């Protein structure tokens, strides 16, 4: 498998999943995203002649860790669906009549 095939077959789909995992404030999804990125780095280290891709992905892992993704800071933050009450147009009493 050459570098282009590795990126098309494995790299791009895994990166799409990782981007989905890093959306929101879920600590568990962020940890799963980190694990997938580390696995992708290991995969690209084993692909012959593709150390540059592995190092670029390693820099991405370090950037996410340095910014605190998946850390304890994400525990207290609410997801977008948990704040839905404040975005509704319904009145507090249940009647929509003016």
Q: What is the pLDDT of residues 22-51, one digit of tens each?
A: 877 777 888 888 889 888 888 888 887 777
Q: How far apart are CA 75 and CA 86, in angstroms?
A: 21
Token code pair at residue 77: 């933050």
Surface-to-core class of residue 40, CB atoms within 10 Å of its CB (0-12 exposed, 13-18 middle, 19+ buried): buried
Which residues contact residue 26 at a Cβ distance below 8 angstroms, ignoring those fewer than 6 apart?
74, 79
- pLDDT tens-digit map of 61-76: 788 777 766 665 555 5
pLDDT confidence of 13, banded at 50, 70, 90? very high
Alpha helices by DSSP H, listed for 7-50, are 12-21, 27-46
Residue ranges of E strands in the chain: none
């Amino acid at each position: 498998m050459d570098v282009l095939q590795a990126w098309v077959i494995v790299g791009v789909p895994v990166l799409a999943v990782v981007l989905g995992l890093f959306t929101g404030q879920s600590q568990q999804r962020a940890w799963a995203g980190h694990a997938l990125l580390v696995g992708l780095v290991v995969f690209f280290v084993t692909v012959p002649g593709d150390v540059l891709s592995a190092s670029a992905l390693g820099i991405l892992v370090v950037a996410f860790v340095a910014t605190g993704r998946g850390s304890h800071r994400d525990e207290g933050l609410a997801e977008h669906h948990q704040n839905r009450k404040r975005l509704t147009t319904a009145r507090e009493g249940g009647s929509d009549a003016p």
